[in-house]
Amino acid sequence: MPDTVFPPGFLWGAATSAYQVEGSPLADGAGISNWHRFAHTPGRIAGGDTGDIACDHYRRMPEDVALMRTLGLNAYRFSVAWSRVLPEGRGRLNAAGLGFYERLVDQLLGAGITPMLTLHHWDLPAALDDRGGWLNPDSADWFADYAALVGRALGDRVALWTTLNEPWVIADGGFMHGVLAPGHRSAWEAALVAQRLLCAHGRGVQALRAECSGPQHRIGLVVNIEPKRAASDHPADRAACERAHAYMNRQYLDPVLRGERPAELAALFGPAWPACSDEDIALMRTPIDWVGINYYTRGVMAHDETTWPLQARHVRQPGATYTETGWEVHARALTETLLWVRERYGDIPQYVTENGAAFYDPPVAGPDGIADPLRLQYLRDHLGAVADAIRAGVDLRGYFAWSLLDNLEWAHGYAKRFGIVHVDFATGRRTPKASARWYAKAIARHGAGL
Ligand code: BGC
């Protein structure tokens, strides 16, 4: 092994999620999801895009697994579409829908690729949405039943499990600002949904543990962390920064890993902040084996009374590089994030479960694939930041580039490309970008030289 800081067994992966890549949303008896419905509501997704075809991964899955193998990935993070497995969200199992994930897992294992399975990456069965979705106090039970079912079916082959992907985004994007499904705009709902999601996570962990109790099974939660800095030393900006940090970062990890909810949020939300019983806090704190960090950018925050309830806004940094989604490129903040998690929550194993950038890509390939120098640089710098965190002692077990493929970037549609592999959405053709080629070489060296 060349001189590398990456530990043996480190996972070199890429990630996707069901609704973003699969297409064929209603195939083989699948039920409608909230995202299918949202995408088919005029005005919700840029350009009227939908996930009807997406990357056609549902039909091209063997080709995609072969592609992962060509790149040398030894891990793949994907999510299960709940509505394929349980078309009504509860009750009746759709064996054909589950069968897709069984085949996917078998193909991955056959290719020497470790599967990391996410149970919920935002696409909720519409039948559950009709009952209030995550606002419904029964949602934790629904999720636990679904988790048990998938755990029972795949626990013999899948060791790494994630309950939820980014609960903050579901609550903030789906219920506070209405830009993601189900499109509500209510601070009261967002605060309640955050709490319900954390309870569902706890119940999901317990249900999974009952089904997946082998020494190989490791259950985690994936959160997106956006470290915050104050735009100035002014006390108002410093306070805005703390509020934003509590809302976006600590709201989820504090209950799960410390058994407490950030006090700042009660003050911020006032009467909209839901009470939480000791029992619920204990449930949220159900022990997990690892935490997954999705890192894209940092946030430089200033006080702003016009944004409710946070009263904080992002401040653009002169001279910095911004991605196509308007996010500042800042690799060092990834190292700081991983160190912060260790410092605040202890030495829990961590994975970088998503990291990547949307940049414009030329549609035509050159000799080294599609030239994407900015994404390649982003990947190089962020893997360097991961190496720095490992050198500083963080127990980091793997890194997953977001994303394996260009895909449906939610409300932005297909215009924002995050893939290390280019997808021609007219033909479905996949072409590795230069970033993918570079990543493959870094993987072959087990990260030596980063
Ligand atoms: C999500 C992905 C999304 C990515 C880029 C994360 O918040 O988990 O589904 O595509 O960020 O926006």
Walk along the chain (450 residues) and give the pLDDT tens digit of each residue: 569 999 999 999 999 999 999 999 999 999 999 999 999 999 999 999 999 999 999 999 999 999 999 999 999 999 999 999 999 999 999 999 999 999 999 999 999 999 999 999 999 999 999 999 999 999 999 999 999 999 999 999 999 999 999 999 999 999 999 999 999 999 999 999 999 999 999 999 999 999 999 999 999 999 999 999 999 999 999 999 999 999 999 999 999 999 999 999 999 999 999 999 999 999 999 999 999 999 999 999 999 999 988 999 999 999 999 999 999 999 999 999 999 999 999 999 999 999 999 999 998 888 777 999 999 999 999 999 999 999 999 999 999 999 999 999 999 999 999 999 999 999 999 999 999 999 999 999 999 999
- Does the global pTM surpass 0.85? yes
| C-alpha distances out from residue 122 to 5, 8, 82, 214, 429, Å | 34, 33, 10, 28, 26
Distance 169 CA to ligand 1 centre (A): 9
Q: Is the CB of 406 under 6 A from ligand 1?
A: no
What pLDDT is attached to residue 64? 99
Distance 152 CA to ligand 1 centre (A): 28
Ligand 1 site-directed mutation target among 294, 325, 407, most atoms within 8 Å of CB: 294
How many residues are given for the chain?
450
Which residue's CA is minimally distant from atom 5 of ligand 1?
Answer: 409
Q: Is the CB of 280 under 6 A from ligand 1?
A: no
- The C-alpha atoms of residue 184 and residue 175 are separated, in whole angstroms, by 4
Which residue's CA is minimally distant from atom 9 of ligand 1?
Answer: 17
Q: Is the CB of 297 under 6 A from ligand 1?
A: no
Q: Is the CB of 402 under 6 A from ligand 1?
A: yes
Query: Domain 11-444 class?
Result: alpha beta
Distance 375 CA to ligand 1 centre (A): 16
What pLDDT is attached to residue 369? 77
What pLDDT is attached to residue 8? 97
Which residue's CA is minimally distant from atom 3 of ligand 1?
Answer: 409
Domain boundaries, the chain: 11-444
Q: Is the peptide bond before 87 cis (omega within 30 degrees of 0)?
A: no
Q: Is the CB of 172 under 6 A from ligand 1?
A: no
Q: Which atom of ligand 1 is nearest to the CA of 166?
A: 8
Q: Which atom of ligand 1 is nearest to the CA of 418?
A: 5
Distance 445 CA to ligand 1 centre (A): 28
In one-letter notation, the amino acid at residue 81 is A
Q: Which residues are catalytic?
A: 166, 354
Residue 92 CB neighbours (<10 A): 10
Strand order in the sheet with 312-314: 228-230, 299-303, 312-314
What pLDDT is attached to residue 1? 56
